[in-house]
Amino acid sequence: MAAIGATGRGGVNRQALSPEDGAARARLMGWAKARGFALFLDPIGNMFIRRHGRDKDALPVVAGSHLDSQPTGGNYDGVYGVLAAFEVLESLEDQVIATRRPIEVVVWTNEEGSRFSPTTMGSAVYAGAIPLADALASRDRDGVTAGEALKSMLAQLPKTESRPLGSSAHAYVEAHIEQGPVLEGAGKRIGIVSGIQGLRQFTVTVTGEEAHAGTTPRARRRDAFVTAHAIVGALARLTADRADTVRFTVGRFEVYPGSPNTVPGRVQFMIDLRHPDAGTLARLGDRVFATCRRHAAPCAVEVREMLHSKPVSFDPRMVARVRDAAHRLGLTSLDMVSGATHDAKYMAGLCPTGMVFVPCRGGISHNESEWAAPEDLAAGADVLSEVVADLAAE
Amino acid sequence: MAAIGATGRGGVNRQALSPEDGAARARLMGWAKARGFALFLDPIGNMFIRRHGRDKDALPVVAGSHLDSQPTGGNYDGVYGVLAAFEVLESLEDQVIATRRPIEVVVWTNEEGSRFSPTTMGSAVYAGAIPLADALASRDRDGVTAGEALKSMLAQLPKTESRPLGSSAHAYVEAHIEQGPVLEGAGKRIGIVSGIQGLRQFTVTVTGEEAHAGTTPRARRRDAFVTAHAIVGALARLTADRADTVRFTVGRFEVYPGSPNTVPGRVQFMIDLRHPDAGTLARLGDRVFATCRRHAAPCAVEVREMLHSKPVSFDPRMVARVRDAAHRLGLTSLDMVSGATHDAKYMAGLCPTGMVFVPCRGGISHNESEWAAPEDLAAGADVLSEVVADLAAE
């Protein structure tokens, strides 16, 4: 999989609904067909690989993650959870084990949110948190809609049976690299994920007036860059906590027209704000609007909230299942809250949901040098296999 | 000309060495050929339209400006000076007036510097201030070199006689809109330009480390955006003078990879710094390097100076000629220093040089709403005509 969209610098650029995303899905579909598994696609492009159970009417146990990457992404984020889940199916097949419930591997569409906003689009639409039409209307930087990109990508793939959004599941389990430094720091192999911190994303558009950089005095400028700079400074002060628990990031910041000798007339940037506590996240996020307005003069500012995803706690019985499986396998483990958001967040509202984390080197992710040790990845897949097989026997 | 590269919002996008730049040159070449004028191109693509004089060996009087525009440029910046100079030739032709000296209209390549750095590239190469090879190696954001773009553009144009760089001239005169608010504010029609303020341009590259926005604590980040933000803040404080004479602009600021949930690993931005006083410009510009380094941690920073163009004073006899011509024509006028840089800056080092300014509405330029009154434009062309005809009679 790491060869699809490989950048040549150790990572991948396999953004959502791109030809590379399509190529990765096609490869997985080929493996699934070779095993005789059934395939389904829903209207946002979420893909399901089903291994039938003995009881045709039983709800499936679902496991998976995503195949899309950041523009300079690593080889483990998302793809690990998909391949680990697929190996669970392969392993049951190899051992000729029949389960009572069907087991499905899911590939969620556009988890990363780097090409199309928002992040975890596929699971959000699946869970009804975002209307399908809104998601399909989301545009990338070239003006292409997610709907158009999805159509192009599907044209690459073999014809596949459709299924509606939000079909019921018995439980959902997702394996993932931690993407943070906690497990490595504690010297533990398995993260027992009790929940996911909350996330709010905002798009801020500052509109000023283009002017000649050589002739226009500072006092006469309506410099969108200067205003955006002041707003970001104020937001950084607002969110700078001594405990270093708040996550505040400006990852996209675009200046127009981008000419060195023209005073910028427009800046658009995105805020990514996270906190494990719902109250703190609500309070800080709500202050984003007023902070932007207070520093807007002499420009105009527009703030749009793209996503408000509250902190989520997983079903304690699922958390216990993951903990017990790690214990049975003799693996060291640690209970933790996920700093990154995942599709499991939306699944938690639909069915009992859990996650299994494995360490990644230096806690580094969203980076081409992202790396995880094979033995940790195997340990995580073993835990996933235990939990899924137990659930499928119910 | 305003139709070529028209954006549909009142302005033009006719960036240097683009197909639109080529189309504008082709149109002017057609007009020149219809009049029987001679055409020449030099190795950086500067174009010369020559009306012969009686004395074949006399050095020409040269007048002109540029046809390239900012990405969201107006209809007057540059193109006015070219068309006013061409009308001088047409008017002499219509009146069957022979001049002793040849008169040439020049179209300088890439005055704007928005696609390829630096600004006033064509005249800088012509004057020997920048090696030709360096200019041709300059790359746009898509990685295309100026040399490649020039070759493509020349393929659009009729075959034209070559001439070497830096051929001598008797004098150079350039008409231009002021691009600032001074003439309009003073209610004067003609700006007698005594010189051009100095300009330094820098490219700053900040390199940090990409990381996950949800998991990476502030203390562990090497966020290139945060560092670049701090550097720009420090530079703004360094250059904020009470008199509002320093011009400090960050017009280009690019964040990589530009994903909302990835801590930026790299930021590249450009600084445009201007002042009429050589000493002040030298002092402030020299402090840019240390200021960037002082705020670099925990990232790495690289500062490259792209251009250091000292303030220029025009030959007082040329300034007097412009003043006298305006006076003879009964036009109100004002002596002033140009806030914008112009190709006249490099010509001033080669031959006696002058400039004629006309007001533009609200002082607005590098903006699609740029506008100048027809009667002001005509008055400026009249002054240009007087000065050029006088010089050509010498």
Instruction: Locate the chain B residue with the closest alpha carbon to A265.
Output: B367
Q: Tell me whether residues B214 and A368 touch, CB distance under 8 A.
A: no
Tell me the nearest-neighbour CA distance from B141 into chain A, angstroms.
11
Nearest to B214 among A114, A264, A341 (CB): A341
Question: Who among A70, A199, A215 is closest to B257 (CB)?
Answer: A70
Note the pLDDT tens digit of each residue in B115-149.
Answer: 999 899 999 999 999 999 999 999 999 999 999 99
User: Which residues does residue B301 pair with via DSSP β-bridges, in sequence order?
Assistant: B206
Sign, Cα dihedral of B271, B272, B275, B276: positive
CA distance A175 to A89: 14
Question: Where does residue A133 rank: exposed (0-12), middle (13-18), buried (19+ CB within 10 A)?
Answer: exposed
Among the partner-chain residues A220, A261, A340, the one whose CB lies closest to the CB of B215 is A340
DSSP B112-126: S-SSSSSTTHHHHHH
One-letter amino acid of A228: A
Q: How many CA atoms lie within 13 A of B108 on its CB side?
A: 32
| Residue among A95, A99, A106 nearest A32 (CA) | A106
Is there a cis peptide before residue A181, judged by omega within 30 degrees of 0?
no
Report CB contact under 8 Å: A216, B178.
no
With H, G, I as helix, E, B as strand and everything else as coil, classify residue A211: strand
pLDDT at B188: 97
- What does pLDDT average to in each consecutive run of 10 residues of chain A (394 residues)? 96 97 98 98 98 96 98 96 98 97 98 93 96 97 96 96 95 97 95 96 97 92 98 98 96 96 96 96 98 98 93 97 98 96 96 98 93 98 98 96
Nearest to A215 among B218, B223, B339 (CB): B339
In degrees, to the nearest 5, what angle opens at C-alpha B258 toward C-alphas B253 and B260? 125
Query: Which one, of A207, A254, A209, A219, lies nearest residue B74 by Cα?
Result: A209
d(CA A392, CA B270): 59
Which of B75, B24, B21, B2 shows the shortest CA–CA distance to B364?
Answer: B75
Instruction: List the one residue out of A384, A359, A386, A364 whose CA is nearest residue A374.
Output: A359
- The list of chain B residues with pLDDT below 50 reads none
Residue A28 and residue A169: Cα distance in Å, rounded?
22
Quote the pLDDT of residue A167.
Answer: 87
3-state secondary structure of B267: strand
**What are the domain boundaries of chain A?**
19-197+311-393, 198-309
pLDDT of residue B167: 87
DSSP for A106-145, please give it. EEES-SS-SSSSSTTHHHHHHTTSS-HHHHHH-B-TTS-B
Which ipTM was obtained for this model? 0.84
Query: Is the four-CA dihedral B171, B175, B181, B183 of positive or negative sign?
Result: positive
Q: Do B249 and A263 touch (CB under 8 A)?
A: yes
Neighbour count for residue B137 (Cβ, 10 Å): 13
Report the CATH superfamily, name and number, of domain B19-197+311-393. Zn peptidases (3.40.630.10)
- Reduce the DSSP state of residue B212 to 3 states and report it: strand
Among the listed residues B130, B117, B143, the one whose alpha carbon sits nearest the alpha carbon of residue B43: B130
Minimal CA separation from A182 to chain B, in Å: 9
Question: How far A54 CA lies from chain B's nearest CA (Å)?
Answer: 41
Which among B332, B385, B357 is positioned nearest to B192, based on CA atoms?
A: B357
Neighbouring C-beta atoms of residue B58, cutoff 10 Å: 15
Question: Quick one: DSSP state of residue A277?
Answer: S
- 3-class DSSP assignment, residue B349: coil
**Chain B residue with minimum CA distance to A252:** B258
CB B192 within 8 A of CB B335: yes
What's the one-letter identity of residue A113?
A: G
Q: What is the pLDDT of residue B48?
A: 98
Evaluate whether B19-197+311-393 and B198-309 have a shared fold: no
Out of 1.20.20.10, 3.40.190.10, 3.30.70.360, 3.60.15.10, select the CATH number for domain A198-309.
3.30.70.360
CB B14 within 8 A of CB B87: no
Q: Is there a contact between B240 and A233 if contact means CB atoms under 8 Å apart?
A: no
Interface contact A211-B367, CB threshold 8 A: yes
